[in-house]
Chains A and B, each alone.
Chain A
Amino acid sequence: DAKTTQPPSMDCAEGRAANLPCNHSTISGNEYVYWYRQIHSQGPQYIIHGLKNNETNEMASLIITEDRKSSTLILPHATLRDTAVYYCIVRVVNTGKLIFGQGTTLQVKP
């Protein structure tokens, strides 16, 4: 299973863009990159996923490098409610397993 590496923690000022990096240098050609977040004591919430093109939805944007070895999740205007642990995951295609790493704890500060 391809592994991901994320910084353990990051801070962001409220109203500013939060850019969360993720390295997945061993990703295979047919493996997707998924992002989830977990607010304390709740189940993880799906944010966005992509294969090789950049993606955007109402929550965030996902930028994947051309070689697919890293990606960045962008929260364009972070709010205090975006404080959470953010997980970058590479999904195993044949089983659909989601293998979580340690994630990045994002602290949005006023």
Chain B
Amino acid sequence: SQTIHQWPATLVQPVGSPLSLECTVEGTSNPNLYWYRQAAGRGLQLLFYSVGIGQISSEVPQNLSASRPQDRQFILSSKKLLLSDSGFYLCAWRSNRGLNTEAFFGQGTRLTVV
């Protein structure tokens, strides 16, 4: 069966520090991968998605970047965090086999920038 792992679960980082959040998927190959952010009391905002290794599409201009160094690994990074980067970050995957497959989400990382 397929599983998605996201870590850490919570993170407190000072302003100006770097960030690296990792997401890995097991039990599937060549998945579509997604990073979302959810600010407090708000809906989910799609940040990045990837349909293959090294292929990253950015949805909104921001202080973050994403990379996909391996087929089932998706990394969210920042060189210098801002206070506005605080939020709940979610990774998701979806099979690319067929047009109507559902997406599965990880349990998220709650990032607080102080």
Q: With A49-B102, A98-B103 as given contacts, are A44 and B57 in contact (CB-CB < 8 Å)?
A: no
Task: Give B81 Cβ to nearest chain A Cβ, in Å.
Answer: 21
- Verify A49–B43 contact, CB threshold 8 A: no
Taking the closest CB of chain B, its distance from the CB of A102, in whole angstroms, is 5
**Chain B minimum-CB-distance residue to A46:** B102
Number of residues of chain B lying within 8 A (CB) of chain A: 28
Asked whether, in the complex, the Cβ of B110 is within 8 Å of the Cβ of A41, the reply is: yes
What secondary structure prevails in chain B residues at the interface with A?
A: strand
* Most chain B C-beta atoms within 10 Å of own C-beta, residue among A41, A45, A49: A41
- Within 8 Å of chain B (Cβ to Cβ): is A51? yes
Chain B residues whose C-beta falls within 8 Å of the C-beta of A91 in the assembled complex: 100
Cross-chain pair count, CB within 8 angstroms: 59
Q: Which residues of B contact A93 (CB under 8 A)?
A: 99
Q: Which of A38, A49, A95, A98 has the most CB of B within 10 A?
A: A98
Interface string of B85-113 (1 = CB under 8 A from A): 00010101010100111111111101000
Asked if B53 lies at the interface with its beta carbon under 8 angstroms from chain A, I say no
Which residues in A have their C-beta under 8 angstroms from that of B104?
Answer: 46
A95 touches B36 (CB 8 A): no
Contacts of A46 in B (CB 8 A): 102-104
| CB-contact partner of B43 in A41, A45, A87, under 8 A | A87
For residue A33, give the distance in angstroms from its CB to the closest CB of chain B.
Answer: 10
**CB of A51, distance to nearest CB on chain B (Å):** 7
The 8 Å CB contact of A43, one of B42, B46, B99, B106, is B106
Q: Which residues of A contact B92 (CB under 8 A)?
A: 43-44, 98
Using a CB–CB distance below 8 Å, which chain A residues touch chain B?
30, 32, 34, 38, 41-46, 49, 51, 87, 91, 93, 95-103
